[in-house]
Structure 1
Amino acid sequence: MILNKAEIVRVASELGFRVVIADPKLTSSMNKFSVVVNRCSVLVGAHGAGLTNELFIPNGKQVPYLGSECSCEARAGATEGSISNGGNDEKDDSSLTSRLGKLLRGNDRRQLETIGFGCKSDHMNDVCVSNQRVWMKTDNGNLSVYFNSKNVQPPQLQHQISLKVRPYVNKKNDEYTKEDVREITIQTPMEHQSYNYTCDVTHDIPAVIFSTGLNGNIFHEFNEMILPLFLTCRHFRSQLRFVISDFNERWAHKYRPILSHLSDYELINASEDNRIHCFPGFVIGLHFHNEHLVCSNSDLPVNCSMLDFRQFLRETFHLEIKNVSQLLYNNTKPELVLLSRRRSRMILNEAEIVTVASELGFSVVIADPELTSNMNKFSVVVNRCSVLVGAHGAGLTNELFIPDGAVVVQVVPLGIQWASTNYFGKPSKEMGVQYLEYQISPQESSLLDVYGPNHTIITDPDSIHRQGFNVGRPIYIEGQNITLNISNFKDTLVQAFKLLGR
């Protein structure tokens, strides 16, 4: 025992720490104490079993072997993300500079290295990066970021005070994006001037700033937000802080496990936090690889694949099954999860599918919206299935959670071939899963009863789509249901069974 524990608490408090005394009553509950330790910056203890709790502290934090088993956290007013000793430390930012630099290439990266600021911009989105000290503040929900460049103004700012960026991918110039995603102002001072704002909160990790203003179904949330977050942030090794503009509480709660895996720090709700935050650098906007549910090794950042992303998801949601072979042993019935829709593209004879699948030897789980809406629970269900079956729709995004070698069966409604192939068919090949599709005939679509066999909607869907998305969507996406030919569909289920080696 350290007998002068009170003196340690007093000295640590004077240095700027907030001290938590971890007595045996607290440490005896691992569920509770692991959370306490995971939120501390320094863990202090005399040699003993209690120091095993260093397993739970964040990456990069310190474990000095000094005193009684107590955990110390930085004061809220001190530097967040590190231990403050009055501001006398000189932090080596070479690692941070390197990590920020990986987000740009070519002239954009050279500009970052020269003046401390660079942007990658294309028709899809913008990603702007600075490795300089920055000030961030919100005024009436509008976020502005200020920084002093190294030498001269960035060329695009020489004749104007600010650059505006809309931090959302894939739909940069879409009218819905403009309506729901506010622009962020990036501003440098006029010539011969500099910024020197007083910081309310100082961080020693960079800010990654993005918007949750435009969100929808699980496909778009993964394709345009979660996967881009992974692409942009993985190489920071959780040493960053998310700043979210157009904050959506539902989205943040739903994806908190993923956000917590990518960052060791609490996110900042820029829609409500009006304090001036200071960072050693920033990233505004997220990388997108210009295809659906794709990680490409040829695009920034490098060394990324969908196999990496799927492993990240397994770690995030504590999914135990990596390969379908772990499920197929001792003649165990393979599990088939059937995605059950309640609006358009419903399979009206679901019960017949359950019957024939059961006869073939599958154990069938009906995944209704109540089950699929809870990602924490449903990801576990899908991770334990061997076959995932569903009509084209956002629910098939859950193929991200099935084991390697498992089978995805997509039922392709009339007139939705392109979207089915590009949204779920092609990506599945990069995920290490097996893919089958069942393209329905006009006789299996409810559209036949509405329009008759000779209508262009039935005979030439492509000509309808050429008239525009707003013409085709109400018909094929929102306006049809499906009654499968069970005899024909049974053949597809037999194929799936064989792909499992049965």
Structure 2
Amino acid sequence: MKPLRSFGRAEPWRIGNVSIIVSMILSFCILSLIKARYGSSPCGNSQVSLKLMAPTQANLKMVTDENGEPTLPEEEDDEENSTVVHTGKPICYETSKRSDTCEAEGDIRVHGSSRTVFIRPTSLKQERKMKPYARKNDPVASANVKEWSLKPLTSHQPPPECTKNHSIPAMILSIGGFTGNLFHDFTDVLVPLFISSHQFHGEVQFLMSDFRSWWVNKFILIFRQLSNYEIIDVDSDQESIRCFPRMIMGPSFHKVLGVDSSRSPMGYSVVDFKAVLRKAYGLERANVTPPQDEWDIRRRPRLLIISRKKTRRFLNEGGMVDMAMSLGFEVRIGQADMHTDVAKFARLVNSADVMIGVHGAGLTNMVFLPAGAVVIQVVPMGGLEWLIKETFQDPAEELQLKYLEYRIQADESTLSEQYPRDHPVLANPSKIRGRGWDALKSVYLDNQDVRPHLGRLRNTLMEALKHLPHKRIS
């Protein structure tokens, strides 16, 4: 009887074990079928599964395709014993509607005279061409920018031999386009270059295409704040092959004279850019501060009038100076062009509390104003709202400035001397705008001077005084 009872107690246990084993086998078979359909079999290639968990040890890199979607890892050539892991970022991407940027890490070889960059490893599927200048959709600007090629190197393709090895990243940019105009110098080149390079704290090598020595010398003090190394005229680099561990081609554009801190490396903003400018040019004033001592209390607020030579000139500058002085301003007049000593002019602007100028490149000098200063944009006739807003109104707030406007009326514009009162130029500017940018520019920007009413302008300057901490002196 005991054997029977013992057998009877053991039978459920054995049946349960059999059920568990059968379930495991079925699960394993189902899993194998799924793997065979959608991926590699766990039995057929266990080594691959281990490599996916430890890509650096297994000479694998996790990559994305050109749309940023994950792809299967690529195995490196065993003979090269590479340990470089791709960052996962698409090698080329759009930083804005105006700029493309290409980035790569690994074995980067730059052949400057042919404007070619050889890259390995890379997620780049085929050769890519681009112009490293932040105005890609402007055909006029692009016509003055040389094109570069990025070529992926396969493990079976011998790379060109290095003639110079660098241990720091390379930053490839063009200074073609519209450089020579102060607004474009900062908007298209200097601010985007700051966005892309300031993260390296000077440990970056600038490779400059479309090199112009006079332009580089004009802004050399800014470049020296962004890089500890001499700029290389890369187009004239003969047959050199320069090798780098990392490369960025094409500075990142965010907005006109501005930086989006949420998108910039390390969260930098345009305030940090202004700090770079102050250090580069030895600018004393970071802010418009209240008077600190007896002498300072007696200092008059300073007004800087930006004067123009050719178009959109102030025709009554003398009267403007006298009127401003009667309000207690110390007045200075500044005129800048492509040959102006930037350092000297930057110090003049930085000493001002209020700056006034007709819409144009000269207003770009507001980047040198101390925080809390007032910038007054004199808006010529022409219904240029979209243009004045994007170029100087919006950037002024980000630059920590108080923005004011003075809008020119018909009897303050020389256009009233050129056209009858009922002409569309005066009566219906939208009709002129409808003819396109060239027509608008020709009429309202290239052929208009202004003579502000001193009474109206006086009210604008009195408004500016309200935003300053200075005591008014009669």
Query: TM-score of the superposition, structure 1-length normalised?
Result: 0.73
Q: Determine if the alignment matches structure 1 residue 387 to structure 2 residue 346.
A: no
Query: Could you say which residue in structure 2 is the equivalent of 1:120?
Result: 93
- CA–CA distance in 1 between the matches of 2:100 and 2:158? 24
8 Å contact 2:350–2:369 — kept in the other structure?
A: yes
Tell me the CA shift for residue 192 of structure 1: 4.9
Contact 1:342 1:369 in 2 (8 A): no
CA gap 1:229/1:327 in 2 versus in 1, 3 angstroms: farther
C-alpha displacement of 1:335 = 1.0
Name the counterpart of 2:124: 154
Displacement of 1:440 in angstroms is 1.0
From 399, 412, 432, give the equivalent of 1:431: 399
Do the aligned partners of 1:371 and 1:378 also contact (CA within 8 Å) in 2? no
Distance in 1, matches of 2:441 and 2:176, equals 23
- In structure 2, what is the equivalent of residue 498 of structure 1? 466
2:211 counterpart of 1:247? yes
Query: How far apart, CA to CA, are the structure 1 residues paired with 2:276 and 2:291?
Result: 21
Cα distance, 1:232–1:396 mapped onto 2, change above 3 Å: same
Matched, 1:468 2:436: yes
Q: Evaluate the alpha carbon distance shift between residue 133 and residue 115 of structure 1 in structure 2; reply closer, same or farther with a 3 A threshold.
A: farther
> Distance in 2 between the 1:106 and 1:335 partners?
53
Residues 283, 351 of structure 1: alpha-carbon distance in 2 compared, 3 angstrom cutoff: same
Distance 2:452 2:379 in 1: 11
- Check whether the contact 1:410–1:437 (CA below 8 A) recurs between aligned residues: yes
Q: Distance in 2 between matches of 1:428 and 1:109?
A: 41
CA distance in 2, matches of 1:198, 1:413: 58
2:246 counterpart of 1:281:
yes
Aligned-partner residue type, residue 172 of structure 1: K
The answer to whether structure 1 residue 133 and structure 2 residue 107 are counterparts is yes
Paired with 1:126 and 1:136, the residues of 2 have a C-alpha distance of 19
Q: Counterparts of 1:221-300 in structure 2 under 5 Å?
A: 221-274=185-238, 275-289=240-254, 291-300=255-264
Distance change (3 Å), C-alpha of 1:337 and 1:147: same
Unaligned runs of 5+ residues in structure 1 are: 1-93, 95-104
- Match of residue 156, structure 2, among 193, 209, 215: 193
Q: Flag structure 2 segments of 5+ consecutive residues without an equivalent.
A: 1-55, 57-65, 74-84
Matched, 1:205 2:171: no
Measured after TM superposition, the shift of residue 114 of structure 1 is 5.6
**Corresponding residue of 2:44:** none
Q: Which has the larger radius of gyration?
A: 2
Secondary structure, aligned partner of 2:121: coil
Q: By how many angstroms is 1:109 displaced?
A: 10
Q: Cα distance, 1:339 vs. partner?
A: 0.6
Measured against aligned partners, the alpha-carbon deviations of 1:334-372 in whole angstroms (never above 9, x if no partner) come to 111111101100010000000000111111111123798
Q: In structure 2, give the amino acid aligned to 1:284.
A: M
* TM, length-normalised to structure 2: 0.77
With over 3 angstroms needed to count, the CA separation of the structure-2 counterparts of 1:447 and 1:377, relative to structure 1, is same
DSSP 3-state at the match of 2:458: helix
1:426 partner SS: helix
CA 1:115–1:354: 2 relative to 1, 3 Å? closer
Distance 1:393 1:114, change over 3 A: closer
Structure 1 residue 108, shift from structure 2 partner:
8.2
Assess if the C-alpha contact under 8 Å between 1:334 and 1:361 holds in 2.
Answer: yes
The equivalent of 1:107 in structure 2 is: 68
Cα distance in 2, alignment partners of residues 154 and 478 from structure 1: 46
Pair 1:488–1:240, CA change in 2 (3 A): same
